[in-house]
């Protein structure tokens, strides 16, 4: 299956194009320090990434407070705590992250051959914009759908389908590239092909277990001869 047969390639962001978990862990521990709570580890944060930063915060607080997640969500102080975390994370965005290998070159080559390129992520929009800007990616993207761009987020396929409608591309001519079972489920729900990367964040599970159409070592495989 060659990537050149696709007219559009859409990507997840965290764990697919950009390794963001170090700065997410920084922000999480910034908040826990403010609250007088013990820090969490990088592997724990890696396992919580995928549903957006607010849900990651819920999981972190549930872990350190030894409470059910629903109890944390129902806490009347959560809006204030979430806003405090949001400030920490926005300050940290782009400070401790890096592009994965061959990301910039691959996006440039896809655009150069006329392929539409976009991102569909569950990260909130203002954080997404900051991460993309820090790594010089906005000029290489035809569309960005964040976790708060639409009423629903992944694994709902609305973000993928909106991009395809905007571009006039049929699902059979589109590919989604991600690193998690959420990404694979999103692509399946949208009726598009899905390739997966092994090095991202999949809640501690091998992404190959979710049976993507293809596993690739890095996104350079999209333009390999």
**Domain boundaries in the chain?**
3-20+97-222, 21-92
Asked if residues 218 and 100 have their Cβ atoms less than 8 Å apart, the reply is: yes
The pTM (predicted TM-score) of the whole model is 0.89
pLDDT in tens, 143-166: 999 999 999 999 999 999 999 999
Asked if residues 129 and 90 have their Cβ atoms less than 8 Å apart, the reply is: no
Query: Which residues participate in catalysis according to the annotation?
Result: 12
Q: Please choose, from the candidates 110, 154, 123, 134, the residue with its C-alpha nearest in 3D space to the C-alpha of residue 13.
A: 123
Q: Please choose, from the candidates 99, 106, 174, 107, the residue with its C-alpha nearest in 3D space to the C-alpha of residue 140.
A: 107
pLDDT in tens, 168-180: 999 999 999 999 9
The DSSP bridge partners found for residue 177 are 11, 195
Strand order in the sheet with 8-11: 143-145, 116-120, 8-11, 174-178, 193-196, 214-215
**Alpha carbon distance 4, 173 (integer Å):** 10
pLDDT in tens, 66-85: 999 999 999 999 999 999 99
For residue 19, CA distances in Å to 35, 61, 98 come to: 27, 23, 5
The DSSP bridge partners found for residue 151 are none
pLDDT attached to residue 161: 98
The hierarchical CATH code for the domain 3-20+97-222 is: 3.40.50.1000
Q: Map tokens 């790594």 to a residue.
A: 135
Q: Report the run of H or E that residue 61 belongs to, with start and end.
A: helix 53-65
Q: Which CATH code of 1.10.510.10, 1.10.150.240, 3.90.1710.10, 1.25.40.10 fits the domain covering 21-92?
A: 1.10.150.240
pLDDT attached to residue 3: 56
């Amino acid at each position: 299956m060659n990537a050149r047969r696709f007219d559009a390639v859409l990507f997840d962001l965290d764990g697919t194009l950009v390794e963001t978990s170090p700065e997410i862990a920084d922000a999480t521990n910034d908040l826990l320090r403010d609250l007088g709570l013990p820090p969490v580890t990088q592997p724990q944060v890696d396992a919580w990434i995928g549903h957006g930063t607010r849900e990651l915060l819920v999981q972190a607080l549930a872990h350190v407070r030894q409470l059910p997640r629903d109890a944390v969500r129902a806490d009347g102080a959560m809006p204030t705590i979430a806003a405090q975390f949001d400030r920490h994370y926005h300050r940290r965005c782009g400070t401790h992250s890096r592009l994965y290998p061959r990301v910039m070159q691959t996006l440039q080559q896809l655009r150069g051959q006329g392929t539409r390129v976009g991102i569909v992520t569950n990260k909130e929009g203002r954080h997404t914009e900051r991460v993309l800007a820090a790594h010089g990616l906005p000029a290489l993207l035809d569309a960005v759908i964040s976790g708060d761009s639409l009423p629903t987020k992944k694994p709902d396929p609305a973000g993928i389908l909106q991009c395809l409608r905007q571009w006039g591309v049929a699902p059979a001519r589109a590919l989604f590239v991600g690193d998690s079972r959420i990404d694979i489920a999103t692509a399946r729900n949208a009726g598009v092909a899905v390739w997966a990367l092994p090095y991202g964040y999949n809640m501690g599970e091998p992404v190959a277990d979710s049976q993507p159409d293809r596993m690739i070592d890095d996104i350079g495989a999209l333009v390999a001869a």
